Chain A
Amino acid sequence: MQFKELIVQETNNICEQLSSYEDRHTSFKELFLTKDTINFGPIKLLDRASIAMRTVILFLTVLTIYFFSTLDYQSIDVLKGFTDTFVNFKTMLLNPYAQRFTLGEAFYNVVVTLGLAFLTTLIGGIVALLLGLLAAQNLAPKQVTNLIKGFVAIIRAVPTILWVLIFAVAAGLGSAAAIIGMSFHSISYLTKAYSESFEDLDRSVIEALMASGANWWQIVFQAVIPSSVTYLLSWTFLRFEINFANAVAMGAAAGAGGIGFDLFMAGGFYFDLREVGFITYLIIAIAIVLEVFSTNIKGKLQKSI
């Protein structure tokens, strides 16, 4: 009863307000359709951010004009340069042909490169699993996590090729230095990825198991790893793909063997564009196979776990 009365009263109030408004402005419709210009400032205000943005754009424009006007072409015909490059690409991509090795040998070398990627990912994954546990904030004391995270960030900041060259001082240029260097970088990359996956598990779940008397190792294997296993696997696959690309580069740059070394010889030693094209196609094919494979596995894992 009371409620009904209240509503009636409210409705009356609103109606009164509306009619008084119409008295002042004749009607909403008129106000809406009025053609009088209203004095309004610019829509976008000139604040610090937009001034900075405009300065940067102006600076880059000036720099670009200056660059092209003062470029020293050193008697190279720019147009000819472009056409020659285009012809080179055409030979590489349209007439691939291997004459210094058979298809079987090429596949063997691909397997060597894949082996390099697999081994470094495996070593990296195992070590990173332990370090990742110690770097996860819900599992280890803050000092330890900060120490490991800082250490790992420094390793990650230096590119893989530099680590390989550093270890080449001790191990000699070759596959040993490549494996140590690439594993080193994989460890730091995967430690960060793993520890962040572990941190996804709520602190309170760990508290619940601690309250029932479980110890650290039991909690890690019964709660933390089962909760994050899909993340762990997808990060590891991603690193495997990165390591495959790295392994090709290491074959060329650090003499680690495999298909990368063939590529280096074909390009830098024999100047054989058709062979470079062949190897490029081979590498692309392997990369696509890896991508399809890992996507499939990830899909299956997400369904089952």
Chain B
Amino acid sequence: MALLELKNVTKNYNNECCALDNVSFSVDKGEFVSIIGPSGAGKSTLLRCINRMVEASSGEISVDGVISSSLSKKKLRKLRTKIGMIFQHYNLVDRLTVIENVLHGRLGYKSTLAGVLGRYNQEEKSQAYRIIEILGLNEQIYKRCDQLSGGQKQRVGIARALVQNPKIILCDEPIASLDPNASKIIMDHLRNISKEMGITIIVNLHQVEVALKYSDRIIGVNRGKVVFDGAPCDLTTRQIRDIYGSESEDLIFELGERHAG
């Protein structure tokens, strides 16, 4: 059975049609899926429907066999611990240290009081430390997050998601504010996570060439509809035109050619 399954998911904001329009797909364990599409196509909404940061208007989403739409607050919390999320602007607490930010990923597992007081047990701490070391941040471990570079901040974001022991990690444009070097490091880490740990990765991307290079599967979204769903090698320039609209054809075509050559 698929790890994540969306059936006819629709989302309207303020009764206007349609941020998402009848979206259905399913994702297996360990898959690396990229979602591409123009700005405002509904990529972010799609991701946030999966962990119910945004409530879908209709349709059914099941994560790991649990249908999420009818869950109580407590069970939703439990479900969210299985879904990590990383963001374009990292969304870390700048005044806290790297290790404190990473341990925030454990809050969903803790009682309210233990979370409020910030009491973490030895096992959680050593897990956090291991993950930080894997991501190459052990020199920054007690640094405050506002002293880090963008790439390092994003790695802290990944560590925070990993320490949840998630089954899925949702990435909302993780490399949109990073330079090419840092972007490559982040994307390599994400690919390793999916290949070695068997964690499903779903990434929103603006860079078609990055999506082509890293993903097992690409989902193209335009105006809330899935217009492409398949392997990267099946993505033709015509389909890219379907996804991004005809105006951007030349630009993307050129980009594609340059990377081919």
Which A residues form the contact surface with B (CB < 8 A)? 202, 204-205, 207-215, 217-223, 226-227, 305
In the assembled complex, the Cα of A305 lies from the Cα of B110 at a distance in Å of 26
A211 and B95 form a contact (CB under 8 A): no
Q: How far is the CB of A73 from chain B (nearest CB, A)?
A: 62
B105 on interface, CB distance cutoff 8 Å:
yes
Can you list 5 residue pairs at the A/B interface with Cβ under 8 Å? Answer: A207-B91, A212-B81, A217-B115, A217-B116, A227-B95
- Contacts of B80 on A, CB cut-off 8 Å? 210-213
In the assembled complex, the Cα of A305 lies from the Cα of B97 at a distance in Å of 10
Additional A-B contacts beyond A212-B164, A222-B104 (18; CB < 8 A):
A204-B89, A205-B93, A207-B53, A208-B160, A210-B80, A212-B81, A212-B160, A213-B80, A213-B108, A214-B108, A215-B77, A215-B107, A215-B115, A222-B100, A223-B96, A226-B93, A227-B95, A305-B95
Q: How far is the CB of B120 from chain A (nearest CB, A)?
A: 11
Known: A213-B77, A213-B81, A218-B116. A208 touches B91 (CB 8 A): yes
B115 and A222 form a contact (CB under 8 A): yes
- Contacts of A226 on B, CB cut-off 8 Å? 93, 95-96
- Contacts of B20 on A, CB cut-off 8 Å? none
B118 and A211 form a contact (CB under 8 A): no
What is the count of residue pairs linking A and B with beta-carbon distances less than 8 angstroms? 84
B112 on interface, CB distance cutoff 8 Å:
yes
B25 on interface, CB distance cutoff 8 Å:
no
- Contacts of B79 on A, CB cut-off 8 Å? 213
Q: How far is the CB of B143 from chain A (nearest CB, A)?
A: 14
A212 and B115 form a contact (CB under 8 A): no
B53 and A211 form a contact (CB under 8 A): yes
Q: What's the tally of chain B residues with a CB closer than 8 Å to chain A?
A: 34
In the assembled complex, the Cα of A211 lies from the Cα of B92 at a distance in Å of 13
B104 and A212 form a contact (CB under 8 A): yes
B108 and A223 form a contact (CB under 8 A): no
- Contacts of A208 on B, CB cut-off 8 Å? 85, 87, 91-92, 157, 160
Known: A204-B89, A221-B118, A222-B118. A209 touches B164 (CB 8 A): no
B19 on interface, CB distance cutoff 8 Å:
no
Q: Which residue of A lies closest to B108 (CB)?
A: A213
In the assembled complex, the Cα of A218 lies from the Cα of B120 at a distance in Å of 13
Q: Which residue of B lies closest to A204 (CB)?
A: B91
B238 on interface, CB distance cutoff 8 Å:
no
A210 and B53 form a contact (CB under 8 A): yes
- Which of B89, B92, B109 contacts A213, CB < 8 Å? B109
B87 and A204 form a contact (CB under 8 A): yes
In the assembled complex, the Cα of A21 lies from the Cα of B53 at a distance in Å of 64
- Contacts of B77 on A, CB cut-off 8 Å? 213, 215
Q: Which residue of A lies closest to B90 (CB)?
A: A208
A214 and B83 form a contact (CB under 8 A): no
Within 8 A of A (CB), among B48-87: 51, 53, 77-81, 83-85, 87
B107 and A222 form a contact (CB under 8 A): yes
B4 on interface, CB distance cutoff 8 Å:
no
A217 and B112 form a contact (CB under 8 A): yes
B93 and A212 form a contact (CB under 8 A): no
A212 and B112 form a contact (CB under 8 A): no
In the assembled complex, the Cα of A202 lies from the Cα of B91 at a distance in Å of 8
- Contacts of B108 on A, CB cut-off 8 Å? 212-214
Q: Which residue of A lies closest to B74 (CB)?
A: A215
- Contacts of A211 on B, CB cut-off 8 Å? 51, 53, 80, 83, 85
- Contacts of A223 on B, CB cut-off 8 Å? 93, 96, 104
- Contacts of B93 on A, CB cut-off 8 Å? 205, 222-223, 226-227
Q: How far is the CB of B202 from chain A (nearest CB, A)?
A: 13
B137 on interface, CB distance cutoff 8 Å:
no
In the assembled complex, the Cα of A169 lies from the Cα of B89 at a distance in Å of 55
Known: A202-B91, A204-B87, A227-B94. A215 touches B112 (CB 8 A): yes
Q: Which residue of B lies closest to A220 (CB)?
A: B116
Q: How far is the CB of B174 from chain A (nearest CB, A)?
A: 13
Known: A208-B85, A222-B115. A214 touches B107 (CB 8 A): yes
Within 8 A of A (CB), among B150-184: 157, 160-161, 164
A213 and B164 form a contact (CB under 8 A): yes
- Contacts of B109 on A, CB cut-off 8 Å? 213
Q: How far is the CB of A166 from chain B (nearest CB, A)?
A: 37
Q: Which residue of B lies closest to A206 (CB)?
A: B91
- Contacts of A210 on B, CB cut-off 8 Å? 53, 80
B84 and A212 form a contact (CB under 8 A): yes
In the assembled complex, the Cα of A30 lies from the Cα of B194 at a distance in Å of 74
Q: Which residue of A lies closest to B88 (CB)?
A: A204
Q: How far is the CB of B141 from chain A (nearest CB, A)?
A: 17
